[in-house]
Chains A and B, each alone.
Chain A
């Protein structure tokens, strides 16, 4: 069964805090993604990891720092965020990032609020 698990579900942090978002999948997928979604907008790609290596960074500010410790885990480290960074952060995974094995499956997201 397809399942991508994200923690925490909600996060409130101040602009000077450091926090991390976590994503886990046990489907053997080798591509993992971070998206940012604002209200009433489509998901916006931030990062792509393929075989545990960063392959796409969509010009994301350095206050967002991704990390892929192993093929099942993906983290997003947050530091010195701005109020406009408040959004739903979605993790997704797929068997591969290109080619035939594409369908991306999303987690439930972390709803982030910056005070």
Chain B
């Protein structure tokens, strides 16, 4: 089955810096990769997703890149703000199946 690894487990940046979180997946048939942000005590919230037919997707300060050959994808947050502080989970899925597999999470702390 699919296995998703995520690094780093903790990331501390200064406000205004960029943050990058990386994930690797094991199943080459996986073709859907969402990212979720979870603030303390709240629901995981979908922030961006990418499918394997594109290499990059951007939404304002957030971008995701996908390298199918290397089986890794990354979340890029530019001009970080304190409200970006949260736990971020990557995930992967083969859309022919019904199971979404999550990475282990990255705790991002943005200091003012």
Residues of A participating in the B interface, judged by any CB pair closer than 8 Å:
31, 40-45, 48, 50, 55-56, 90, 97-100, 102-109
Q: Determine which of B43, B97, B104, B105 lies in contact with A107 in the assembled complex, contact meaning CB atoms within 8 Å.
A: B43
Beyond known contacts A97-B98, A98-B96, A102-B93: 18 more, CB 8 A cutoff: A41-B104, A41-B105, A42-B105, A43-B89, A50-B98, A56-B99, A90-B43, A90-B44, A99-B95, A100-B95, A102-B34, A102-B95, A102-B100, A104-B46, A105-B46, A106-B36, A106-B45, A107-B43
The 7 closest A-B pairs by CB, nearest first: A42-B102, A97-B98, A106-B43, A108-B43, A106-B44, A48-B98, A98-B98
Q: A101 → chain B, closest Cβ, in Å?
A: 9
* In the complex, residue of chain A having the shortest beta-carbon distance to the beta carbon of B104: A42
Q: B30 → chain A, closest Cβ, in Å?
A: 12
Return chain A residues, CB-CB under 8 Å to B43: 90, 106-109
A31 to B36, CA, bound (A): 19
Residues of B participating in the A interface, judged by any CB pair closer than 8 Å:
32, 34, 36, 42-46, 49, 87, 89, 93, 95-100, 102-105
| Contact assessment for A43 and B46 in the assembled complex, using a CB-CB cutoff below 8 Å | no
Q: A2 → chain B, closest Cβ, in Å?
A: 9
* In the complex, residue of chain B having the shortest beta-carbon distance to the beta carbon of A107: B43
Q: A104 → chain B, closest Cβ, in Å?
A: 6
| Contact assessment for A104 and B89 in the assembled complex, using a CB-CB cutoff below 8 Å | no
Q: With a 10 A CB-CB cut-off, give which of A41, A100, A102, A103 has the most chain B CB atoms.
A: A102
| Contact assessment for A42 and B103 in the assembled complex, using a CB-CB cutoff below 8 Å | yes
| Contact assessment for B102 and A43 in the assembled complex, using a CB-CB cutoff below 8 Å | yes
Q: Can you report 15 residue pairs joining A to B where beta carbons are below 8 Å apart?
A: A41-B105, A42-B102, A42-B104, A43-B89, A44-B102, A90-B43, A102-B95, A102-B100, A103-B34, A103-B46, A103-B49, A104-B100, A105-B46, A106-B44, A106-B45
